[in-house]
Amino acid sequence: MKQELSYRDSVHKTGRIWMFSALALLLAVPAAICVYYSAWPPVGGVLKGLLSVAPIFWTVGVIEVFTYVPMLGTGGSYLGFVTGNLANLKVPCALNSMDRAGVQPGTEEGEVISTLAIATSSIVTTLIIALGVLLLSQIAPVLESPVLQPAFENILPALFGALGVVFISKDWKIAIAPLLFMITLFLLVPSLGSAVGILVPVGALIAIGVARVLYKKNLL
């Protein structure tokens, strides 16, 4: 037990240093552009732009921290939140890897598998994008060809269809209610598509609520 704490604590310590450094670097990029070109933008313009994205994306950002940190574990969170693309890549990758390895999130083994999955995924993503930018003139015609467009437009359905089978079949009793709720909601209000990040905790609350009732009645 003591060792587990000390490992987690060391990840927290390293993670905080890396994350605050990454934050500083990310803010240094626009600052560097301003200094180099001596082109400081009008503060009002930046605020106005921020005002149109911050209400939604800051809310989603806060929600993501509370929903994904328990799934990703300590190391996985520090890495996943820096490297991004959580819902469409890192979270499914980590969940699937833990499931395949037969380990639970939140355990020491789950921590190791989740961090390895997210680190591998981050490294591969970075390399593919770097390679893509370098070879762009050769591969852009292929990637942008109309034949391939449906494949890239449908990446989320293809991902969650497969992931759904794995996790719904395990806990179908918990899954039915949030699933029906979400399908009905999107059928009735299609414009909610851009707010899917905000709906994740709604789905989680429904699932956890139903699970609690079933658990209390000994039905799980």
Partner 1 sequence: MEFNPNNTFMYVVVALVIAFVLLQSVVFFIKAWRRGKELGMDMKALKKTVGSSALFTVAPAIAILLGVIALSNALGFPLPWLRLSVIGSLTYEATAAAAAATAVGASLSQRITDPKIFSAIAWVMALGIIPGLLLVPLLGKKIEKGISSIKSKDSKWGQIFLSGLFLGMISAFLGLVFARVQEGLAGWIPVFVMLASAVLMMTCGLIRKAFNAKWIEDYALPISLLGGMALSIPITTLVQSMIG
Q: State which of positions 146-205 bind partner 1 (CB under 8 A).
A: 147-148, 150-168, 170-171, 174-175, 178-179, 181-183, 185-187, 190, 192-194, 196, 199-205
Sites for partner 1 among residues 67-96 (CB under 8 A): 67, 69-71, 74-75, 77-79, 81-89, 91-93, 95-96
CA nearest neighbour of 98 among 113, 116, 119, 118:
113
Whether the CB-CB separation of 95 and 71 falls below 8 Å is answered with: yes
Q: Is 6 in the site for partner 1 (CB under 8 A)?
A: no
Sites for partner 1 among residues 114-133 (CB under 8 A): 115-126, 128-130, 132-133
> Could you give the CA distance from residue 139 to residue 131 in angstroms, rounded to a whole number?
10
Cβ-based burial of 86 (10 A; exposed 0-12, middle 13-18, buried ≥19):
buried
Closest distance of CB 2 from partner 1, Å: 14
Sites for partner 1 among residues 19-38 (CB under 8 A): 19-23, 25-30, 32-34, 36-38
Q: Is 39 in the site for partner 1 (CB under 8 A)?
A: yes
State the alpha helices, DSSP H only, in 37-135: 43-83, 91-101, 108-134
> Could you give the CA distance from residue 111 to residue 128 in angstroms, rounded to a whole number?
26
Closest distance of CB 22 from partner 1, Å: 6
> Could you give the CA distance from residue 22 to residue 13 in angstroms, rounded to a whole number?
14
Q: Is 53 in the site for partner 1 (CB under 8 A)?
A: yes
Q: Is 106 in the site for partner 1 (CB under 8 A)?
A: yes
